[in-house]
Structure 1
Amino acid sequence: MTKTALPTMLSFSAPDLREQIEALPEGTALIGISTDGRAIAVDLDTDCPHVLVCTSSGGGSTTVLRSLTAQFLHQGAHALLLDPKRISHLWAKGLPTVTHRGNVAGIHDALVGLGDEMARRLRLTDTELDATPRLIVSMDSAHSALRQLTRYWETFRGKDDPRMSPAVSALEGALWTGRAARIHVLLDGTPTIGRTLGASPHELFGTIVLARITTGTWQRLAPLAGPAPKPSKHRGRGHVIQNDEVHETQAIWMTDADVVTWLTDPDDIES
């Protein structure tokens, strides 16, 4: 395989990149460009209804979630953006098709509402569902958020209530049956996320994006993808695993300002 020299940063403002993104079919979003020159994308309607992103600190997980969420919003999707740090996705505040929640009570209530929304969607006819906007559930710092949700539930759980937080149960339900309701999860997680959600990550996520991780993390998240590659020092450079194939990929760099301008003034050609 011939490797292509990739730029150290793949900016949304790069020549022809925005046009390439806007030409993608609905339900498909570009992660980046691989070292063999291929466009590496997520197609939510085929074998990839959900995406897991796992990086070390500074590895670009928030950037990948922002880029993918923005692309689906541009295509007409709605989004539930769960931001436990409260500052990672400030671009989402004020956008009409985005529900942004940061504190644990707000995240809890939003996920419980997600369970109700999924049940409603599953009752729709195919025609009604096709006319319903796709819903993207984008969760940053999921490991921390799920621990907070579990502790929060324990503060008021009654003796007859289930032990698992209903918010965590709703997220688990979205991962297992969300495709049938046009609900898709983009999650910034860790190798232990499967223990909380009841399955191994490769069972729940059709696409896994890894960057600057340890060999142990690679073996837990991509056990069938071969030996762990050497982590890259390039910003935004990582590996995308799809169908047990590994693609070294330079991810798109899309700033908060890029996203807001694109979504609120799509005819603005500046980025």
Structure 2
Amino acid sequence: MKNIVAFLGLLCLSFIAKGQAEIKSKKLIWSDEFDREGLPDSTKWTFETKGNAYGWGNNEKQFYTPAEAGNAVVKGGFLQIVAKKEPSAEHPYTSARLSTSNKFSFTYGRVEVRAKLPEGRGTWPAIWMLGQDIGHTKWPDCGEIDIMEHVGYDPGVLHGTVHTKAYNHVLGTQKGKTTSIVQPFDTFHVYAIDWTPDKIDFLLDGAVYHTFENDHRTTAEWPFDAPEFLLLNVAVGGNWGGKMGIDDLVFPATMWVDYVRVYQGE
């Protein structure tokens, strides 16, 4: 048993070393290290609230709040996105959804986010991306890349997915895979993608677990040759996150983010 544990440890270290070597060959073009206390940097992040009226298209139960509500703060070197149970019958849950829309978007590169996830049934944290042209091109035609999704009722499973006009959950044709994850609530993990003109690799702690390849047909299958922006959020309930109900005892439920980094280059 000790030999197996040692082998797995060495394997993990080899993945990390390989990932670090790959990063050294790339240029950091944007980041947030969350080293300034207070509200998230308003030059980088926007609090999104416009989808509250319709449950963000997924029957989500949370009400995403503006900055002053305090559901997203930077403290001790970490961004904390906190989903809360509220006494209000109108808005029984609050949370925050941050995006870089119209502040930072990019085409191709590597995204790395070091984060620790909230725990509990009903939580639905996500680290993801949307096409910057979503204001002119409806979803999912704009292209969505889910770097990390996790649902609290299935704690040991991580999801990485893309949604396009041809491949999406409405049609049941979305392209994604899962991988096992150990202690996502107690341990920080690095969630990442490598995005090129030919493919998108999804990585957990430096190891690729899913690849979505460009079949070079049309933008219905591959809309990913245009700028995308970043999003961070903790949803509550919804068609997927609330499939097994919501445990009100888990709140407040927090996603801790150590950093968000975007690299480009060989």
Q: What's the TM-score, normalizing by structure 1? A: 0.25
The structure that is helix-richer by fraction is 1
Structure with bigger strand share is: 2
TM-score (norm 2): 0.25
